[in-house]
Amino acid sequence: MLEVIIHPKAGQFPSLCKRPEIDHVMLSTGIQTVFNEIKRNGDEALLNYTEKFDGVKLQSSIYDITSKDAASIPISDDLKQSITIAYHNIKKFHLAQKSNSLLVETMPGIVCKQHSLPINKVGIYIPGGSAPLFSTVLMLAIPAKIAGCKEIILCTPPTSSGDIHPAILYTALVCGITEIRLAGGSQAIAAMTFGTNEIPAVDKIFGPGNQYVTAAKQLAQNYGVAIDMPAGPSEVLIFADNTATPAFLAADLLAQAEHGGDSQVILVTESEKIVQDTLAEIEKQLATLPRKTIAKQALGHSKAIVVENTVSAFEFINAYAPEHLIIASDHADKYIPLIRNAGSVFLGNYCPESAGDYASGTNHTLPTNGWARSYSGVNLDAFCKKITFQSITEDGLKGLAKTIITMAEAEELQAHANAVKVRLNQL
């Protein structure tokens, strides 16, 4: 059950912000070994790791999606309809993020422009395992398509029968994905980093995962591949004022706890009674959950923190920088100015975090482990790059020349200054 902390001082915040983690030396060593093997032996190593970690012996990682028809996928009509509704909401929100090209005349004769262009080749990683996250296909494929990425490679672990989970397949078809590879874990990240005969190297890798996948994505950057963000084990922090409902709080905490034993959930409130009532609700609701064993593991390193006042609450919240932040209040909007660090915020007593996980329209691929202090969640811009342009007329150069020459010579870069002077001489 959650550890209860009463009125912590600011000096305790760093230790209270710590997430569950495994030995980093062991982790990095193991991931580097996987990368070395994939780089050296390509598909052979990839398939060996699939057999080792997923218990499935494949002849190839390539999954032929082109022969599949969405109507024939064996999932319920209700689920198909739900995926369709979520698809349209997510697409609508991400379409609204499209930015126009910029054009600014900074001085007479000097025009600066910015164009947004799609990243050419992207890899999207879709976790499988005990909870196949078909919703992540929506979150990553939709903005990639809107951005105009030319090649989208979807990697996901195979099922125990060596197939793809039908909900992942259906969602991929709805999103227009044409390339799927049955590969999971750090070996899939390594394959998209280096490229193999069956899996092309990509320019940027997207997607959540466990600590192994997160470490692999971070290592991929050392080999010239960009990533969306460090997105490891999931987490939620709930701020509850005196208008919060303990049954709702318990449900939201358990929703996040069932993601995995290395997840973390935090309750922050000024009320000890809310904590006690919420703990009682957790006991009641936990008993009914199929994944209660996993949820209990997460609750074992989670906390309920009773703070002295709202100022202290948000000092801790911003220090923790949660992936998901729920403001459980009938007056949630009044707390918005206090929020500085969070991946995605859920406002009000009727806004569960699961709405953002699935269908409200916002993206659920978010920074964890405190990275919300410096990273945004996935959005349309994550699939684009911005290129700037400038054009200068003869009169424009004359007007700016002295400024450039003075600054270049002050930095003792005479060739920079000379690039302007030779043009002035000709003019």
Catalytic residues: 323-324
| DSSP string covering 334-383 | GGGGG--S-SEEEESTT--HHHHHHTSSS------TTGGGT-PPP-GGGG
Q: Determine the Cα–Cα distance for residues 301 and 20; give it in Å rounded to an integer.
A: 7
For the chain, how many residues are written?
A: 427
- Give me the residue label for tokens 């009463």: 6
Q: How far is CA 182 from CA 154, 171, 278, 355, in A?
A: 9, 15, 41, 28
Output the six-digit token pair for 143.
């903005």
Angle at 425 between CA 422 and CA 427, to 5 degrees: 115
130-166 burial string, b = 16+ CB within 10 Å, else e? eebbbbbbbbbbbbbbbbebeebbbbbbbbeeeebbb
From the list 119, 127, 130, 131, the residue with the least C-alpha distance to 154 is 127
Instruction: Find all residues with CB under 8 Å of 183, minimum gap 6, and list them.
Output: 46, 50, 61, 155, 156, 157, 191, 199
Can you name the residues that pair with 121 across neighbouring β-strands? 151
Give, as one character, the DSSP assignment of residue 19.
P
Can you name the residues that pair with 116 across neighbouring β-strands? 386
Largest CA distance in the chain: 84
Q: Mapping DSSP to helix (H, G, I), strand (E, B) and coil, where does residue 410 land?
A: helix
Q: Which helix (H) or strand (E) holds 285?
A: helix 272-286
CB atoms within 10 A of CB 186: 28
| DSSP string covering 97-134 | T--PPEEEEEETTEEEEEEEEE-SEEEEE---TTS--H
